[in-house]
A and B are shown apart, each in its own frame.
Chain A
């Protein structure tokens, strides 16, 4: 096991981690504002990937337009899900919202199954994303650079929005105390919709990059990344954007490195995330960054 092999695995781990982070940020923001695990969030990955697929393959859009349109439409779907399924029960017990979220997630998956069919489709790969950079024994796909770069830019943008803008301030206030924010005359529904737009757009970008990295598309594509991204959000300390980003990176790195060091454990890769989750929840229930957990 030499140094360039480890370096290569670290790059792969970071790439996977960045994708988890993008999805985890959406989870963490919605959770921060609504105290709701939006189970349907992972399925937005699948929706955006299919939208991009149809845009590019069927309507022959150039890839930047296709991807942009897919992200925009997924963001709209995010609002629709909130307005249609979550808003009517905002005052019901939290368990009802959680059950509804599971229902929405299954609805999206199975609707895709019924409408599109189960046969995996090949995601189009524009030439810019294909290719491998070779230096010595190191082989890094261009896609890794794209993922790292795009994630860095998006993460910076989200941090600016959350920390420096008025709507970001409203989001942070909402996560502290919804009733007081309402009394301050802030349009809560607008803030919540904005949260869903931001989160869904990030998930959409993550979904497209996920499929560029790993092309076959199927209706249940978003399930595992979605679950793991949620785990990442909890690892980092749910409610915190930087926490979600860190949690995603940690999860991606540990999944890749464990398999790299012990190839015979590769079958257990999917169990790593949940074992990590259970350990973290038991030892440090507020996650890495840490915020007060609501009961």
Chain B
């Protein structure tokens, strides 16, 4: 056995140890937050987790696979509606659906939250799969406009299929099932799955498609299936995130899932660095916190991270400027395509410490 291989094994053990420690620290922090911090802080922490789920999965299709798709508002909407419809009890449905009663099989169904969440994710995956066939026949700008159009059509459907979605009134009085454990648990699971996927041979195929689709196909990669895989995996997590979101805010309506939502997510992954999962995570947290901070510039009627109608739009002005400035001056974002690793962190800490020591001399 060569010495380098031995070091690699020890560093692997070290990384695993450090990762588990970090998880444990996060767990303790969440336990502390759950028991001792205010509802407002918990809400922000939940929001961050949900945005991380969406950003990381959105980055899979846009950053890693390089397909400029504008679909997350649509997938979040599907996940949110399916989960909410399944989790509401029949009596609550009767109360909500005042314009027209709900159609039969749906009106009687009432499932547990985890089951409806899973079905929400799977249903979104199914829709994504059906969508992939027509959508990935076009590329580039056309893909963007077709996926955007899909979101618009979906919003029209949500507004008009009153017996299923309750139309423009939306669904109210959902139970606040989304706790810190659900949101952060699923967030960690998402990050773990996406990172494993990106580092697998499938992930390398996705990157190859991003760099040059024709060359990738010449190497025997089926570009269509690779894109579809990224798209459907992304859809599953976004559907789940939609369900979490619905049961965090407890009210959903078609207007919530407009293009503005996709725009926010696009800002997140671009600022983080297209193609970097670490960037997506960091940037999701930063942007959610920034959004909360900027709220002081606006009037109180805003709900949850971004707002949909009405009063001042200072926050969106700052976000759009941020997006443009990042594109003009730092189009690689915070992380570029770099990823976090313990080795880099340790090297960085060492160089910092070394620099400080030299400075003191």
**A→B interface (CB under 8 Å):** 35, 37, 85, 88-89, 92, 94-96, 98-100, 102-104, 106-107, 109-111, 113-114, 118, 219, 227, 230-231, 234, 267-268, 270-271, 273-275, 277-278, 281-282, 285, 293-295
Whether B331 lies near A278 (C-beta < 8 A) is no
B202 within 8 A of A: no
Q: Of B141, B156, B312, B328, which is in contact with the most chain A CB atoms at under 10 Å from its CB? A: B141
Whether A99 lies near B270 (C-beta < 8 A) is yes
B101 within 8 A of A: no
Interface positions, chain B 274-321, Cβ under 8 Å from A, are 274, 309-314, 316-317, 319-321
Q: List chain B residues, Cβ under 8 A from A103.
A: 267, 320-321, 323-324, 327
Q: A99-B270, A99-B327 are in contact. Are A114 and B321 (CB under 8 A)?
A: no
Interface residue from B138, B159, B331 paired with A96 (Cβ < 8 Å) = B331
Whether A277 lies near B145 (C-beta < 8 A) is yes
Distance in angstroms between the alpha carbons of A268 and B314 in the assembled complex: 32
Sampled A-B contacts (21; CB under 8 Å): A35-B141, A37-B141, A85-B324, A85-B328, A92-B331, A94-B140, A95-B274, A99-B270, A102-B323, A103-B320, A103-B323, A107-B317, A107-B324, A110-B320, A111-B313, A113-B316, A274-B150, A274-B152, A278-B149, A281-B137, A295-B140
Known: A95-B274, A96-B331. 19 other contacts (CB 8 A): A100-B328, A103-B320, A103-B321, A106-B320, A107-B324, A114-B312, A114-B317, A219-B313, A227-B149, A231-B145, A271-B156, A273-B149, A274-B150, A274-B152, A275-B153, A277-B145, A278-B146, A285-B142, A295-B140
CB distance from A221 to the nearest CB of B (A): 14
Distance in angstroms between the alpha carbons of A85 and B323 in the assembled complex: 11
B263 within 8 A of A: yes
Distance in angstroms between the alpha carbons of A118 and B299 in the assembled complex: 13
CB distance from A259 to the nearest CB of B (A): 13
CB distance from A226 to the nearest CB of B (A): 12
Whether B134 lies near A282 (C-beta < 8 A) is yes
Distance in angstroms between the alpha carbons of A96 and B141 in the assembled complex: 11
Interface class of chain A by DSSP: helix
Distance in angstroms between the alpha carbons of A102 and B320 in the assembled complex: 8
Whether B141 lies near A98 (C-beta < 8 A) is yes
Whether A110 lies near B317 (C-beta < 8 A) is yes
B144 within 8 A of A: yes
Q: Interface size (B, Cβ < 8 Å)?
A: 43
B266 within 8 A of A: yes
Q: List chain B residues, Cβ under 8 A from A94.
A: 140-141
Distance in angstroms between the alpha carbons of A165 and B19 in the assembled complex: 67
CB distance from A216 to the nearest CB of B (A): 15
Whether B145 lies near A230 (C-beta < 8 A) is yes
Distance in angstroms between the alpha carbons of A96 and B332 in the assembled complex: 10
Whether B134 lies near A278 (C-beta < 8 A) is yes
Q: List chain A residues, Cβ under 8 A from B263.
A: 102, 106
Q: List chain A residues, Cβ under 8 A from B142.
A: 234, 281, 285, 293
